[in-house]
Amino acid sequence: MGAVIAGVTMFRLMLALLIGPGLAAQAQDLRLYTVGSGDVSGGYYAAATALCAETNRIEQDLRCSPEATPGSIYNLEALRNRQLDFALIQSDVQRMALTAEGPFAESPPFDSLRSVMSFYPETLTVLARPGANILSLGGLVGKRVDIGLPASGRRATTMRLFDALGLDRSDFLALLELSAGTGLEELCAGRIDATVLIVGHPNESVRRAVQDCDARLVTIAGPEVRAFIEAEGDYVYASIPGTLYGRKGRTQSLGVIATLVTRSEMPDDIVSALVRNTIANLPSVGVSASVMENLSPQGMRSAGLSAPLHPAAEAAFVEGSD
């Protein structure tokens, strides 16, 4: 958590240095807010940076700071503890926080959690090193597999899937908890057999792993996976077009939605500005972050949102549709 607080403090200091002493008094009137994202190499950080860029370009009295974090679980706990103002999280993790399930089973339900916007689909993406003989989910058994940092959404989702399939740590040679960037480096170096990601596509890190390291996209399908998707209700069928990465066919898998959340007490004008500036400038947001291309306000208002929509977000969507 201290990294986020330090980041905000540094943001204030850099802002003061940039504007100079003559405008220091005016800087005191700026209201700063933070958006928790993910690894700096991932889609969440790119998305948060694009969102903040629009607000910082348009609003005179607001400054938005994108914060790199370990991922969805961390973001929700930091949001609950008021160390973040907004958080990018997976849609399944959003519901788990509301109902105190999974990684939040020891915490009370996050009753003040509010949805702000929904963004892009994220697909469970398993990459295997060539020669590992991993062609399906069952092929991971007995292998060295990266499932993500403890505070990441990809780890929470992966363990939920493994639990549903009756798999535990003893079924693997090793389950490693690495950052996305480190996991891909270890895969390319041949020190692990597979890494599990949850990302929007196309994804530059996946492209490099496939094209530079000959990593293989692993099919996640079959009766057990189908039963998991249909029983949980938080997941959808998804596939990865091979043409995105110079391969043929499509790789079957499952997916979630990237969502933005806040707390119920977040000031209406800040929430409204964030939503309004985003939906009014979707083309430039998509240019800044490719994962944010082809968004529609209608989908952003509802897809994957289990927490109640913040009233100011609801009003901004209504205003944007007029």
Q: DSSP letter string over 274-313? A: HHHHHHHTHHHHHHH-GGGTT--HHHHTTTT--SPBPHHH
pLDDT at 304 over 80: yes
Residue range(s) defining the domain that contains residue 86: 2-120+259-321
Are residues 308 and 210 both part of a single domain? Answer: no
Same domain, 90 and 145: no
114 in the same domain as 9:
yes
Question: Do 240 and 283 reside in the same domain of the chain?
Answer: no
Q: Share the mean pLDDT of the chain.
A: 92
- Asked whether residue 120 carries a pLDDT value surpassing 60, the answer given is yes
Residue 322 has pLDDT above 70, yes or no: no
User: Using one digit for the tens of pLDDT, what is the confidence trace for 243-270?
Assistant: 999 999 999 999 999 999 999 999 999 9
Domain identity same for 202 and 128: yes
Q: Which amino acid is at 81?
A: N
The pLDDT tens digits for 35-60 are: 999 999 899 999 999 999 999 999 99
DSSP 197: E
User: Could you tell me if 99 and 51 are in contact, meaning their C-beta atoms sit under 8 angstroms apart?
Assistant: no
Lowest mean pLDDT among 26-40, 51-65, 168-182, 232-246: 26-40
Angle at the Cα of 126 (from 241 to 119), degrees rounded to 5? 60
Query: Given phi > 0 = left and psi -120 to 50 = alpha, else beta, which region is 188?
Result: alpha
**Mean predicted confidence (pLDDT) in 2-6:** 46
278-to-58, 111, 120, 284 alpha-carbon distances in Å: 11, 26, 14, 9
d(CA 288, CA 290) in angstroms, rounded, equals 7
Decide: 252 and 25 in contact? Cβ < 8 Å.
Answer: no
What confidence tier does 10 reach under pLDDT thresholds 50, 70, 90? low
